[in-house]
Structure 1
Amino acid sequence: MALLAQAAAAQTIESLDWVEASGTSVARLTFSASVRFLRQAPSPATATDLAQLSFQIVAADEQVTGQTVEEGKRLGAAAGRPRIDLVYVPVPKVATKLLTLRFSEKVLLQVRQGPGARTIDLVFKSRMAGDLSAEGALPEPAEAPQDRRFAVVLQSTLADQGAQMPRIPAEFQNYDVYTQPSERAGVKRVDLVLGFFKTQQDAQAVRQRALERFPQAAVLSLAEAAAKAAPAAAAPVAAASVAAAPSVQPQIETAVSDVDGQGEALLAKGRSAFAERRFQDAIDATNQALMLPPNPSSPAAQELIGQTWEAMSQPDKARAEYQLYLKLYPQGEATGRITQRLASLGVATAATAKADGAGLKADKKRLSATGSVSQYYYGGQTKTDSLVNIATGIDQSTLTRTNQSVLVSSWDATGRYETDDSVTKLVMRGSRSDNLASESAISSTTQGLVSAAYVDYRHLPSRLDVRVGRQSAIGGSLFGLFDGVSMALPVAENYKVDAMLGVPANTLVSAPQQALAGVMLEADNLFEHWGGNVSLVEQTTEGISDRRAIGTELRYFGESLSMYAQLDYDINFNAINAFTVQGSFQGPYDTTVTMLLDDRKAPSLQLSDALISQGGASLSSLLQANSMAAVQGFALATAAEARQAMVSLSRALSSKWQGSMDLRYSEVGALPAVGNFQAQPATGAQYNVSFQLTGSNLYSSRDINGFNVSFITSSTMNGTQLAYNNLTGFMDNKISLEPSIRYYTQTDNAQTKISRISPGLRVSYKLSERANLMAEGIYETSQTDGLTNHETGESVFFYLGYRYDFQ
């Protein structure tokens, strides 16, 4: 493939997919690096359609740790599952990374570490539009008039306070909601009622769900209410008629003479909101219109609510509303349009079934495509003023330069072809950078980067999975990108074998005739919640063993506790290449405790690392002049010992506030002088303790506010950082603003003081359900004061771009 001739660039986020889970819906984030989940905002107990999660990159290639290009992914809505829009804005050299998540409706979200070191799970245990598990599903509303026997009185309010009725949660959008007058102890009141239900059990199930929000909720028998409301003289007759055909509708607090006008006004309001893409407002208006007694606007409102759910990528709800239209208005003006919409949604209507005489048979073959394309322009300029004390006085200089002027184009596409027994996917991900600031015609101004280009075939009955092309390694001691083929095949219950063969695609050293092969035996649920694997990898250069390693992983994955340990041992060097232990515990009161211990060689041990310091391009040539032991010594001398440890604790302080604390330790060992390399001293231990306070929905229904203070100390310096960041969604998440400000100060052992202040603003605007515009600007002013120098600097960095999602 021509694309594979381009350089490899590892994006941080590899995939976002729905995965099978018992009793809940789970979307799994898979990364191209080892990561550790830290915290989420808002807390799991808060229903939201806007969220952020914090994570740390534990180990990754330089392309990932130094990434600056924004990433975005979309996961389409499915039955009982919301659409997810994900945005990752990488900030190099910042330990805590942020992901922003937007959902097509309000959800209750629990984020946790996934079953492996490269995964984070988004768990939707319950949504505001109904529980995602079959056991917790809300009962269907009674549609036929004769089945409308019960309702639920959510709240009763004094008549003069009726205008202050609370908004009904989206969880109950599928039901009718209305107000009706009542009188208790001679006091006039207004009841907020939810309906309708065929059985008392259905009504009771909805009441139980509503109790947390409406503590006084009670089940109402419409037959009994109608009997009590009838005149005393006619009571026996009324009761008999109700018993025979319980179709009596509760009194709605609406003047019948004004029903037509109210219906028309609410329909106009819904159409206006729909045209402005304020879809939730359109749902609210059309729901209110449909609560009214039948009127000339009812059919149009019924069509509009289906169109709105469809625009919100909620096909199941759109189908239900369209089908209800055909049931209520089979000869309606919109019947033809709605029949076409249902056909496009994959539903055979009565009309289309009649047309072919035998109905439509579901097509077993399904073809779909998802992905995105984006472009960003990155610009930046720096101005520096320096004052230096010299023997003859003070030397003053000013330097202004353009730091960057780059246009980055990215693509991420997945084609999917499904049959009853197989799934075939074509995945393409990559980017292209055009350096517009290049001043030399000789230097390359364009670089193409491909992070994925493969075909994946999965045979469902046998669970055989074969993948060909540029892809991420299968795990264990096998990491990084490679061009080749991989296979996964179950060999027994809870066991499978993974194998890979190909050429490394993102090596640190460009060496000729590279090849790699690996095999892994994986066990899932060997014991309850326990799993792991054993792997072996052989990588060669010019037929010489470059890396030969054995690895093992041990995993525990439970509802509230997950643990992960990995050991990678290099057989050629007789040395441990990497050892890591990670854990995450989610306790009561939305408490999350995360820990990490990690010790590894950086870069990873490979014989070809010797070429870095020796300036050669061939291992065979280097071995002709040196012994194997000497070449291994060259390679070891370029691999420093990197250690890190972390403990993080976060807990909900209230319904809107969360507190968290992170304690980090890191250290990189010394490197000796070797070849072209000078000796590098050890960094010494560096400690970082940070405290964060996160407030959610403080002044709106969509805002997240982070306040952070961090203290950094080492043997050579002490630093402090104060930071504030905000994310606010406006107009139903159509516009997002993310202002931030950071102040950092540092003093080293030479009494040189550095201070920086960096305000910034990121803006995103949703042009449509698929198109988004983004822009960010950061202004930084810095000052450095030493014993003999004074320097001030100003920097401006910005980017602007767009992303288009297709589905």
Structure 2
Amino acid sequence: MGDRNGFDCRPGCGPTAALALLTALTFPETVRAQSLLVGASADFNSDLGCPILAVEFAEPLDLLVQSGAEASDRLDLVLRGEAEDPEGLELEAPEVVPAPGSSDLGVTRIELEQSGADLVLGISFASAMVTNATMSADGTRLSIAVAGAEDTGECLANLTGDGPEPAGPEPEVEAEAAETAPDEVARDEADIETDFADARAAITAEDYDLAIRLLTRILNAPENSRSAEARELLGVVRERNEQFAQAEAEYLLYLERYPDSEGAVRVRQRLDALTTARGAPPEPLREVAEADRATPEPADEEEEAPASTDQERPVEPSGISRRPSDAPEPAEDDREEEETLPKLEYSGSVDATYFFRQGTTRFTEFDTSRRSVDDFVLQNSLVTSLSTIGSYETEDYILSWRVAGAFEVDFDDDEENFRFSRLYLDYDPKGSELSFRFGRHLVRSGGVFDRFDGATISWQLQEDVSTHFQIGSPVESVRDPLFGFDRLTYGASVDFAEIYPDTDLTIYANEQRAGSLVDRRTVGFELEYEGEWFSASTAMDYDIYFDRLNYARVSGTHIFADRSTITLSLDFVQSPTLALSNAEQGQLGRSLDDLRDSFTLDQLRQLALDRTTASRSVTLTYFHPIDDTWLLNMDATIFDTEGNPASGGVAEILAPGQDYYASIGVFGSGVFSETDVVSASARYADTSSSTLVLADASYRFEPTERWRLRPRLRLGHRDLKRTGGTEIFAIPSMTIDYEIRDNTMLELELGGRLSRTETSTSRDNSTESYAFIGIRQDF
């Protein structure tokens, strides 16, 4: 199997790669019908200067707390689902996704598990790391900046608020440069020339931190005569400073902005050597300078380099006059590294889990004293699943894929079924602004709000502007057959990054058709602002076919000096998403084509409106860190839902009115040991059908390195408004994880539900028990 960090595809490996991909397409993913944890990837934030671990979720989540800022090889992040769910978001089993193979991140395991009413995303690293996590405005993408505790670069300085003292003697130019803030933009051409000369002097003195600050200041200024040179030199300095991910990002930016420049060949050679030999020590700066030196500009010839022991000039990509064909041949070692392409990388996990759930109901009628006992089996099935991500890279393109699905055997119903939550290929030709994705994938922007089968074409118009074109068929369930194309959706969106400082905008138009009929036709926008102390987002989706608002959201978060946060969100949602096909609801399986025999198009439009329910909500959330161990969180939601009129033979549904939800809880990390997690909360819900009070507590601890235990207990009391009765219930559970060996995990969960429901005429005592046992292998 493949190495998590990849391996070279040498002659004869093609059949192996094909077999791996065929296996991935044949088997599929996860215990849940729809995994909440979608996947993880490596990224880079040029503003922070940090490698980024990006984790994606299938549903919106709130980030409640992350473990402290101290360096650690374990990061725990507490997440919360929708506030209007009084019993919390439930995972049937812990979820695991493959860790990105980036050596800069050093991630060894990513796991999402239940902790009381909340979820805990646990991330393990190969060594101690300093981290900082932020959640996207839509709650589906978590970005975690990662810096090694021993790093000396700007990433660690940005995450901790202070950086290391410069090593070695300080050049005389440093005092003058220090008078200006490092992130200040150079004011004019004279300042740029001064900063560039100071940066070269700092490199000669091997003060790379100062050189990075000066070059970054040049690049923060508007495009100028030194921009290209500063971009290349910044990549070289970062590589020399062993900041390999940052160096790679700088080289990529250079090639995007200056693809036809004289230095493009040289930068591409450096990038190829860096990406194929990550971890190998970079060439000394002066050796690189010797290889790159060509006829300098007159101005450069007149400049005197600061004195040094060998009188060598620092690296400077300025004034290169040779044509690409005149570029020097790479060294023998470089040629060997370049010949490692094509390259195949993949990672993932495979597991098999057996589920069994049974129950007993004892029902008593007071008037007749009649008693009955009913035993039932709710689940008896085996789920085999696989999740894998991978890529195949050549000199001309990168082909990557993700497969996530499951094969389930139901022993009671004697049924078998496949389900796919992800199954797609990405094609990214090198040197092109276009990229392609084809298959079943998740889209939460551009007018597409969930999975769809089809193609997405992306075009990077310029650095801050990109467009996306989509065509395919919407997917309502992961059990839907692949590429059913019962409905066709197509549209386009444009992303504008930094249209205003810290502000991104997406605008889109989308149309969906059901046969010859327009199903939905929408336009909309998504606007996000991410400041240091305040963030906000707003989005709107308007259906111009129905002339109705389909979706609107406004949300804002303020961060206080003590790291407390308060968030206010206002939502308007049509459910299901407004579409002509909603008219099929309640029509005994008749399709739109069938309904056209009985209804006119205007009547079908009205039926669709009548079957679509509008709801409005207001949510206020507050998080407060009590100390380094404990976090207090509170939230409250008012939820108002409209009713549905009678039409087309479907009965009226009365408006349930307003529902109220509230919760208060504490979360503790490292309470009794370094790795334990404590969670306790109380929830209240007042809805049209009942009033619920719920207490929820859990404790996760590791008695040894290979064992992890998670006991949990929920106690609830519900007043039933419609029948005038009450329900009391208890839900105990115990989850046990045992690491058989590296990358092999045994998972066991036992639990049940005991409840007693009593009205004026009857009593219902119910017991339910469940167990699942599974084994998972990561590769």
TM-score by length of 2: 0.69
Q: Establish whether residue 743 from structure 1 lines up as the match of residue 693 from structure 2.
A: no
TM superposition shift of 1:42: 2.8
1:539 counterpart (501, 506, 512): 512
Kept in 2, the 8 Å contact 1:25–1:133? The answer is: no
Task: Name the SS for the 2:81 alignment partner.
Answer: strand
Aligned AA for 1:398?
V
2:107 aligned residue (65, 71, 83): 83
Alignment of 1:263-412 (within 5 A): 360-362=336-338, 363-390=340-367, 393-412=368-387
- What is the aligned counterpart of 2:41 among 17, 37, 40? 17
Q: Which residue type is aligned with residue 55 of structure 1?
A: R
SS at match of 1:581: strand
SS of the aligned residue for 1:764 comes to strand
Tell me how far apart the structure 1 counterparts of residues 80 and 697 of structure 2 sit (CA, whole Å).
Answer: 18
2:745 paired residue number:
772
Offset of 1:135 from its aligned partner? 6.6
Measure, in 2, the Cα distance between the counterparts of 1:74 and 1:659.
32
| Native 8 Å contact 1:43 1:658 kept in 2 | no
Determine the C-alpha separation between the residues in 1 that align with 2:433 and 2:91.
Answer: 35
Q: Distance in 1 between matches of 2:642 and 2:778?
A: 45
**Which residue of the partner structure matches residue 192 of structure 2?**
none
1:146-195 CA distance string (max 9 Å, x none): xxxxxxxxxxxxxxxxxxxxxxxxxxxxxxxxxxxxxxxxxxxxxxxxxx
Letter in 2 for 1:30: E
In the other structure, the counterpart of 1:418 is 393
- CA displacement 1:239-274 (0-9 Å, x = unmatched): xxxxxxxxxxxxxxxxxxxxxxxxxxxxxxxxxxxx
The one-letter code matched in structure 2 to 1:775 is L
Equivalent residue, structure 1, for 2:319 = none
How far 1:378 moved relative to its partner? Answer: 1.3
Query: Quick one: distance in 2 between partners of 1:425 and 1:577?
Result: 35
Between the aligned partners of 2:120 and 2:572, the Cα distance in structure 1 is 24
1:107 aligns with 2:124: no
1:598-632 CA distance string (max 9 Å, x none): 21111111111111222344323322321112111
CA distance in 1, matches of 2:109, 2:98: 5
CA contact (8 A) 1:669 1:683 kept: yes
Residues 476 and 520 in structure 1, CA contact (< 8 A), matched pair in contact too: yes
- Letter of the 1:502 counterpart: G
**One-letter amino acid of the structure 2 residue matched with residue 31 of structure 1:** F
Residues 107, 646 of structure 1: alpha-carbon distance in 2 compared, 3 angstrom cutoff: farther
**For 1:433, which of 401, 408, 430 is the aligned residue?**
408
1:86 and 1:99 in contact (8 A); partners too: yes
1:492-507 to structure 2, matched below 5 A, reads 492-506=462-476
Q: Tell which has more relative contact order, 1 or 2 (C-alpha 8 A, sep 6+).
A: 2
- In 2, Cα distance between equivalents of 1:495 and 1:597: 29
> SS state of the match for residue 643, structure 2?
coil
| Post-superposition offset of 1:768 | 2.5
Write the deviation string for residues 412-454 of structure 1: whole angstroms up to 9, x where unpaired.
112212346642202211112211122xx6xxx1111112221
2:269 aligns with none
Contact 1:474 1:500 in 2 (8 A): no
How much does 1:549 deviate?
0.9
**Distance in structure 1 (CA, Å) of the matches to 2:28 and 2:519:** 23
Q: Following TM superposition, by how much is the alpha carbon of 1:699 offset from its aligned partner in structure 2, in angstroms?
A: 1.3
- Decide whether aligned partners of structure 1 residues 505 and 657 sit closer, same or farther in structure 2, where only a CA change above 3 A counts: closer
CA distance in 2, matches of 1:783, 1:46: 48
1:557 to 523, 530, 544: 530
Whether the 8 Å CA contact 1:386–1:396 is kept in 2: the answer is: yes
Are residues 1:629 and 2:602 paired? yes
Please list, as runs of the form range in 1=range in 2, the aligned pairs for 1:586-597 lying within 5 A after superposition: 586-597=559-570
Question: How far apart, in 1, do the equivalents of 2:444 and 2:377 lie?
Answer: 42
Q: Is the 8 A contact 1:117 1:564 kept in 2?
A: no
Mapping 1:749-768, distance limit 5 Å: 749=721, 750-768=723-741
Match of 2:64 in 1: 39
User: 1:97: how far off?
Assistant: 4.3
Note the C-alpha offset of 1:492: 3.2
User: In 1, distance between residues paired with 2:747 and 2:27?
Assistant: 31
Report the 3-state secondary structure (helix = DSSP H, G, I; strand = E; otherwise coil) of the residue aligned with 1:75: coil
Query: Once the 2 structures are TM-superposed, how far is the Cα of residue 141 of structure 1 from its aligned partner?
Result: 12
Once the two structures are TM-superposed, the CA of residue 563 in structure 1 deviates from its matched residue by 2.0
Does the aligned pair in 1 maintain the 2:708–2:738 contact within 8 Å?
Answer: yes
Partner of residue 446 from structure 1, selected from 411, 416, 421:
416
Distance 2:76 2:607 in 1: 48
Q: C-alpha displacement at 1:735, in angstroms?
A: 1.9
Structure-2 residue corresponding to 1:53: 78
2-structure distance, mates of 1:611, 1:649: 42
- Structure 2 match to 1:647: 620
Choose which of 531, 554, 566 in structure 2 pairs with 1:581: 554
| Mapped partners of 1:455, 1:133: distance in 2 | 35
- 1:613 is paired with a residue of what secondary structure? coil
Instruction: Determine the C-alpha separation between the residues in 2 that align with 1:466 and 1:376.
Output: 35
Offset of residue 113 of structure 1: 1.4
**Local SS of the residue matching 2:447:** coil
SS in 2 for 1:501: strand
Distance 1:631 1:367, change over 3 A: same
Match 2:457 to one of 465, 487, 490 = 487
Structure 1 vs Structure 2 CA RMSD: 3.7
Tell me if the contact between 2:40 and 2:100 (Cα under 8 Å) persists in the aligned partners.
no
| Map 1:156-195 → 2, pairs under 5 A | none
Residue of structure 2 equivalent to 1:245:
none
CA distance in 1, matches of 2:542, 2:729: 43
Rg bigger for which structure? 1
TM score, norm. by length of structure 1: 0.67
Deviation, 1:506, is 2.5
For each residue in 1:266-285, what CA deviation from the matched residue of structure 2 results, as whole angstroms up to 9, or x when unmatched? xxxxxxxxxxxxxxxxxxxx
Paired residues for 1:630-709 under 5 Å:
630-675=603-648, 677-709=650-682
CA gap 1:133/1:379 in 2 versus in 1, 3 angstroms: farther
Alignment-mate amino acid for residue 761 of structure 1 = M
Q: Secondary structure at 1:620's aligned position in 2?
A: helix
> What is the distance in 1 between the residues matched to 2:397 and 2:558?
37
The answer on whether the counterparts of 2:357 and 2:770 sit within 8 Å (CA) in structure 1 is yes
**Equivalent position SS for 1:361:** helix
Following TM superposition, by how much is the alpha carbon of 1:643 offset from its aligned partner in structure 2, in angstroms?
Answer: 2.6
SS at match of 1:394: coil
Deviation for aligned residue 1:701: 1.0
User: CA 1:50/1:522 → structure 2, altered by over 3 Å: closer, same or farther?
Assistant: closer
The 1:474/1:647 distance shift into structure 2, 3 A limit, reads closer
Counterpart Cα distance in 2 of 1:722 and 1:358: 63
Kindly tell me: are residues 469 and 673 of structure 1, through their superposed partners in 2, closer, same or farther at Cα, counting changes over 3 Å? same
**Cα gap change, 1:95 to 1:598, in 2 (>3 Å):** farther
Unpaired runs of 5+ in structure 2? 1-21, 158-162, 169-205, 211-276, 282-331
Distance 1:675 1:132 in 2: 67
How far apart in 2 are the matches of 1:588 and 1:316? 39
